Chains A and B, each alone.
Chain A
C-alpha cells in the first residue's frame, strides 16, 4: 500500500513537472551570438493573477526583470551571458500580492555558427555565384559569348566624336551617392573607358562630383586612363572637382556648368534622385547628346523622356564588361542571365503552386 502511494506521488510529481515545463518554457534563442534566451509562458497563467519574472546565474540570488502585464513571451538579451546555465523563476501572485504558485526553468545560451533562417539566401548565393564562376571559366577557356547590343554604350564613340568636332567638352556626372553605392562604382568604371576615349580624341572631360571619396577615385581613374591612352600630359586634375554634398546645391552647380560650358555630350551614369530630371532637362535645353544610366526605377522615366540613350538598371552594371569586351567580365554577364532565368522559373513555379494552395516554396523563401 505504502509502495503504491509512493509510486503515485512520484508519478504526480513528474506529471506536474512536465505540465509546468509546458506552461513555462526557457530555451536558447536561436540563430544569435549566445547573448539571448527566449522565455515563453502559457496564457492561462495570466488568468489567475499577475506574474513577476526573476533571473539568476547561480540559482540562489534572483533579480527581478520588469514585464508588462499582458506579455506571454520575453527575450532576455544580456551581453554578459558566458555560456553558463541561467535560471529563471516565474512567480504567480494573486491580486492581494500573495504568492500563489511559481515556475522554474533554466537554459544555457549558446551561439550558433550558422543562421538557419538565412539558408534560402545561402542557396541562392551559391547558385548565382556558381553560375557566374562557371561562365567566367568558360569564357577564359575561349568560349564565344553572345551579348546583345546596348545602344547607349555603342553611341559613346559617336558622342565623344561630336564633342571633339564642335570643340566642346564632355560632361560626366557620376550621381550623388558615395563610393559605397554600387551604381557609383559602375559609373566610375565607365568613366575610365570614357576618359580613354576623350584622351584619344583630345577632348576636354569635366567631372563634377558630389562626394569627397568619389573625387579621389574619379581622379585616380581618369589619370590612369589618360596614361594608358598615351596622353598623360593632357590630364587636368582640376577638371575633376568637388561641388557640394548637398543634393540641390550639386544640381545647381551642374546646371551652371552645363549652361556655361555648353558640353556637347553629357553622361549621367550613377545613382540619381530628384535631381535627375533637372540635370537631364537642362542638358536637353543646351543641345547636348545625352546618355544616362541608373538603377533607380523612379528616375528612369525622366531619363528616358529627356535623354537620347538610357541604360536601364542592369545595363549600367553591364557597361564596364560590355565596353572592355574582356571575356571574363562578359562571362559574368552570362552568369547574371542564368540567375534571371532561375528567378523567372521560380516565379512561374511559385505562382502555379500558390494557385493550387501549396505554400512551401513561398514559406521557404520567407526569410525572417
Chain B
C-alpha cells in the first residue's frame, strides 16, 4: 500500500496533465489551473521545511561541538538577524510587525533588511559569481590542450570565439574590406556560434528531450520507482 497509492496518484496526475494539454474544453482547463495553483502553494510551504532542517542541523552541531561548529554559529546568527530584521521592520515595499522603521531609514538610509541585503548580501553574491572568471581561466588552461585532432579543433574554435567576443578582436580585423567580411573575427565567431555550436546544442537538447520523455513515461507507468525510495 505504501507504494501503490503514490503510483496510482502519479499515473493519474501524469495522464491528466498529458490529456489536458490537448483538450481545451472545460473542466480540463480548470483542472490544470487548479493543479498549477496547488503547486504554487506547496512550493511556498516547502520553504519552511528547509529552514527547520537548516536550524536543526546547525544547532545539533553546536550542541555536540562537532568539527567546525563555529561556522554553524555564524550561519545561525546570520539567519536570525535577517529573519528578525525582515519581520520587525519589513522590506523596502512592505512594513513589518512593529512598523516601517522610518527612524532607522533616517539614520542608516534604508530598512535594516534592505541595508544588509544591499551592502552585504549583494556583494557576497557578486563575489561568488566572480569566482567564475578565475575558475574559467584555470579550467581553460588545463582543458584546451591540442592532444588530438578534435581537441585542436576545439582549441582553434575557442580562440576565435573568445577573440570575436571582445573589442580587441573587432579592432584586430577591422581593416578588412567589405568583400572579406567573412574573415572578420566577430563574423567567424558568430558563424561558429550560429552553426556548429547551435547544431551541437540542438542535438543535445533533442536527446535530453527524448530522455525526459522516456524518464517521465517510466515514472508515470510505474516502471521506474527509485524516486519513491524503493524497488518493485
Contact = CB atoms under 8 A, between A and B. Distances in A.
A311 to B, nearest CB: 10
B53 A241 contact: yes
A304 interface: yes
B66 to A, nearest CB: 10
A192 B57 CA distance: 22
Contact of A260 (B68, B143, B204): B68
Given A180-B39, A182-B212, A278 B204 contact: no
Contacts of A249: 125, 128
A23 B89 CA distance: 62
Contact of A332 (B24, B125, B207, B217): B217
B223 A305 contact: no
A340 B26 contact: no
B24 A243 contact: no
B22 A122 contact: yes
Contacts of A244: 54
B47 A245 contact: yes
A228 B22 contact: no
A17 B206 CA distance: 52
Given A186-B215, A297-B205, A224 B224 contact: no
B63 to A, nearest CB: 12
Contacts of B39: 180
A94 B190 CA distance: 54
Nearest to A116: B22
A313 B139 contact: no
B204 A333 contact: no
A295 B46 contact: no
Contact of B25 (A111, A193, A277, A332): A111
A282 to B, nearest CB: 8
Interface string A211-246: 111011100110111001000000000100111111
Contacts of A189: 224, 226-227
B215 A33 contact: no
Given A111-B26, A242-B53, A328-B223, A277 B135 contact: yes
Range of interface residues on A (Cβ < 8 Å): 35 or more
A308 B217 CA distance: 31
A193 B230 CA distance: 10
B18 A277 contact: no
B30 to A, nearest CB: 8
B179 interface: no
A295 B204 contact: yes
Contacts of A278: 128, 131-132, 135
B113 to A, nearest CB: 15
Interface in B164-217: 200-201, 204-208, 210-217
B227 A188 contact: yes
A216 B213 CA distance: 24
Given A248-B128, A312-B204, A329-B223, A118 B21 contact: yes
Nearest to A118: B22
Given A188-B226, A277-B139, A329 B218 contact: yes
Interface stretch (A70-78, A165-173, A315-323, A348-356): A315-323
Contact of A212 (B49, B131, B132, B139): B49
Interface string A111-141: 1111100100110010011001000100000
B230 A228 contact: yes
A180 B22 CA distance: 21
A305 B155 CA distance: 12
A313 B204 contact: yes
Contacts of B16: none
B147 interface: no
A252 B227 contact: no
A339 B210 contact: yes
B223 A332 contact: yes
A336 B23 CA distance: 26
A52 interface: no
A156 interface: no
A144 interface: no
B18 A113 contact: no
A220 B223 contact: no
A217 B214 CA distance: 21
Interface in B24-40: 24-26, 29, 39
Nearest to A209: B50
A216 B49 contact: yes
Contacts of B43: 178, 213
Contacts of A306: 139, 142-143
A116 to B, nearest CB: 10
A251 B21 contact: no
Contacts of A220: 228-229
B227 A316 contact: no
B53 A215 contact: yes
Contacts of B215: 182, 185-186, 317, 320
Nearest to A190: B226
B210 A314 contact: yes
B140 interface: yes
7 contacts: A33-B29, A242-B51, A243-B54, A278-B132, A280-B139, A295-B212, A317-B214
Given A212-B47, A215-B49, 6 more contacts: A180-B39, A213-B43, A295-B204, A316-B211, A317-B208, A317-B212
Q: Can you list the 5 inter-chain pairs with the closest CB atoms, starting with the nearest? A: A317-B211, A212-B50, A314-B211, A305-B143, A295-B208
